[in-house]
Structure 1
């Protein structure tokens, strides 16, 4: 039997149908992803994590308008390997990029940008790649060779040309990222944009406009700055001491014709990239500091403190430019109406030592370098705000972005999606332990190879290869990891439990370098 609908009823039905279709379309709308990553930026130098040193108002905007992960870690605290873990969602044993000195990233392997491409996303990376091979899985890319240069840097283009751009690298990368969003992308498609900075990598060369900043600040030495490494053989063997290993010319800019250092020639090559105005500004600032330093000729603890103060100031100046440029990206997204449909992520490839244990650099499984900042500004529809305390790792980024895009997460990825946490959920089966493995030895800074496991309270580390030592820390009682508890009878049960957990994770991730319980009993 035919049904008769009054005109008013048909109009109402049509309106309901249209509203449902619009709601369905909105529900299926794919979010954009802007993934900003820096090099060697540690949580201690972000005011949304730590207010002792400097203010980072634009980074704080991301945290204040979204979420801050308070237990965010990496799987291998070294630039190239960390990036490989991030882009594949796998530990180093799974992606085969173990270190910066012997490896080339296999670009043919599965990565999350490739999977996003298949789902209709535009993908782009601008800035630091640092995986030796050329990028794949990106519709657009423009990368710096290796570490890149702070001043007038070279870029490798998709045409495999190397071009030089004039200016300061953090500004240039941001300029190019905004230009891609404004002029080069298809605005009818969702996008995933990597804005990957050279900053704040050694040797911390600030933009000329920021050179005079923070010179009035004096920083207290960390309590363990003069650590004697008692009971920690691997820590004693490193070569990343501010006192002993920080180069007076390369790191601290104390260049004078009659002075030499191991890295002097490299520093001079950096200065040689500057134009006359940049070089004049540089020498105007550092000239008086150089003259004063060699006149006073500090020694002993006075020299140690002087080096620490210069390191802190130069690092902070480099962060300042980064923070300003993050603000530019946020302002652009807001101005173009993109902010509410975009997940904005800020993180670093690992943490860094700001004088803790007397060090600079990273590599160790200790907290300052295993930890990495992670903040996210969430798109509309995600109401979670504040701190997320669950333990997360950089192998989780790929699964998270895929999950957000509605793409199936491959079963061979080691990481897990953080989307439930972004929705305010607290899964009862969330991981209780993290696995870590560092491989690059012998190499710069001479940090021994090691693997380990971290829980919410304890950390167990095994240093191996040319050494065979274990370290155990109670992070609750000893957050600065000064007292190695391994071998103490009262912790035997804890060690046994951690070794079992570590072996389980090594088997889960199919790491060929594993702890052997049988050998341990010998």
Structure 2
């Protein structure tokens, strides 16, 4: 018979073995959980991803994600502007709930985020690249982000609180830092990496190796490039985002280099500070690339429609050159995953913070609830789940991203999040829309003079209310894909108009949006 001392030792040994078994089981479960990389480029229009079929450029590396993933043709945002879109993704909540309504806000980093929830469940986490939320990142083991918008050439980064300037091209550097972190991370844990590029954000400064890419290309001018906005409300006519009228010669179009001091105002002054980040050698290469075409432009003395089209071509070429570097670096990161045996258990989500106008309606930029701005690219590659290309018309929104990521990781979704996980759709278990109607609210009417508005989109219709003007627009997207003909108050759409307005009020109430008090 065992004495008391021997019994105690045996009990301790059994408990210890059980503890080790539990820890081993937890480690195995943790190791089997998928790694997740959330890739977000800034202002990357879906029209500029060749997998979407617009034929403007070639993005072979992003296309490869679509070949083994799900390509969403109807993914949308809740608020089409940089910082707010990022805050929505992190929180799974609309702008009025997470507190970041416009680019003049500061993100409350103390609130619940998807990064914190993953970190607390055993993931090692990092955010690298563009942040644009003002406050320091929280919930990350490592962060290395641009201050503010960031710069293309020799940019500043803030690495875990320490700011420094780094030589090189931003798009490449973000990938360099991401790969370095992946090499040095805690490899006993699954990882969650937010990888966010500045490109192709305004003012579209290409990587030197692509200075002459598209030189011989003439991009097709959109059919509504010379839109006169006559069929819509005053909001469309009062904006300041037309390529022909509102792009600056220096900051946007690179028609001057060193400016006299009396010319250094507004964006021209900003251009000078950006240009002066280049080294003398870089300036020489830049001028060699742009001066011949600039000289030809000055000699041509263009005006009217010819001038507008010249500006459009310069814009498109620089924009697409920036996209090319983004695609290259998606390829670099995917090559790293494959070389290090991580490709089989790493989910890739590729998206943008919103859509972008590439000359449609004569515009650049975003902000509007019109399709080119409201709609964003979204591709999800999930090894073992999405093994062949699937194209879906299901309507999803960026307020769904946090919930989807949590379900991918096997974690519960907090009840205060406002979106819906689309994991069932990725697994082929759900058909149809994730949302039958999408709610939108744009708050900022300063830059580009885009009026504040709310609205909803269903399969066929879109209703927009410019609430400070009490102006409404209604579009039949089946008959009018380019949103050129406002049918609000058209008797033929009276029933549709009433139903859409009622649905807008219902969604506004559902999402607890207190502003505005619109006319029912």
Same fold per superposition (TM over 0.5): yes
Partner secondary structure for residue 292 of structure 2: helix
Which residue pairs with 2:334 in the alignment? 330
Note the C-alpha offset of 1:397: 0.8
Q: CA deviation digits over 1:317-339, x for unaligned, max 9?
A: 00011100000001111111111
Note the C-alpha offset of 1:387: 0.8
Contact 1:154–1:164 (CA<8 Å) still a contact in 2?
Answer: yes
C-alpha distance in 1, partners of 2:162/2:120?
27
**Equivalent runs, 1:394-413 vs 2, <5 Å:** 394-413=398-417
Contact 2:407–2:421 (CA<8 Å) still a contact in 1?
Answer: yes
Contact 2:30–2:122 (CA<8 Å) still a contact in 1?
Answer: no
Does residue 100 of structure 1 match 2:103? yes
C-alpha distance in 1, partners of 2:432/2:444?
36
Which residue pairs with 1:453 in the alignment? 456
Note the C-alpha offset of 1:504: 1.2
C-alpha distance in 2, partners of 1:340/1:478?
43
Note the C-alpha offset of 1:385: 3.5
Contact 2:258–2:272 (CA<8 Å) still a contact in 1?
Answer: no
Note the C-alpha offset of 1:52: 2.1
More displaced 10-residue stretch of structure 1: 283-292 or 203-212: 283-292
Note the C-alpha offset of 1:383: 4.3
C-alpha distance in 2, partners of 1:334/1:377?
14
Following TM superposition, where does structure 1 have runs of at least 4 consecutive aligned residues deviating by more than 4 angstroms?
Answer: 24-28, 256-262, 381-384
Which residue pairs with 2:217 in the alignment? 217
C-alpha distance in 2, partners of 1:405/1:245?
45
Does residue 35 of structure 1 match 2:48? no
Q: CA deviation digits over 1:8-67, x for unaligned, max 9?
A: xxxxxxxxxxxxx99x95798210001110000001111000342100000101001111
| Residue 363 (structure 2) aligned to one of 359, 363, 367 | 359
**Equivalent runs, 1:376-455 vs 2, <5 Å:** 376-383=380-387, 385-427=389-431, 430-441=434-445, 443-455=446-458
| Residue 275 (structure 2) aligned to one of 271, 276, 285 | 271
Partner secondary structure for residue 376 of structure 1: strand
Does residue 144 of structure 1 match 2:178? no
Contact 1:503–1:515 (CA<8 Å) still a contact in 2?
Answer: no
C-alpha distance in 1, partners of 2:298/2:411?
60
- What is the number of residues matched between the two proteins? 494
Contact 1:247–1:262 (CA<8 Å) still a contact in 2?
Answer: no
Partner secondary structure for residue 243 of structure 1: helix
CA change 1:142–1:27 in 2 (3 A) is: closer
Partner secondary structure for residue 50 of structure 2: coil
Note the C-alpha offset of 1:431: 1.9
Partner secondary structure for residue 71 of structure 2: strand
Note the C-alpha offset of 1:293: 1.3
Which residue pairs with 1:243 in the alignment? 244
**Equivalent runs, 1:16-415 vs 2, <5 Å:** 29-101=32-104, 103-158=105-160, 160-183=161-184, 185-232=185-232, 233-255=234-256, 260=263, 262-383=266-387, 385-415=389-419
Note the C-alpha offset of 1:386: 1.1
Q: CA deviation digits over 1:151-184, x for unaligned, max 9?
A: 00001121x221010000000000000010012x
Partner secondary structure for residue 294 of structure 1: helix
Note the C-alpha offset of 1:430: 3.5
Note the C-alpha offset of 1:292: 1.4
Contact 1:242–1:355 (CA<8 Å) still a contact in 2?
Answer: yes
C-alpha distance in 2, partners of 1:421/1:97?
29
Contact 2:115–2:139 (CA<8 Å) still a contact in 1?
Answer: yes
Which residue pairs with 1:3 in the alignment? none
C-alpha distance in 1, partners of 2:436/2:399?
15
Q: Specify every segment of 5 or more residues in structure 1 that has no aligned partner in the other structure, as ranges.
A: 1-20
Contact 1:124–1:194 (CA<8 Å) still a contact in 2?
Answer: yes
Which residue pairs with 1:10 in the alignment? none
Question: TM-score w.r.t. structure 1 length?
Answer: 0.92
Question: TM-score w.r.t. structure 2 length?
Answer: 0.92
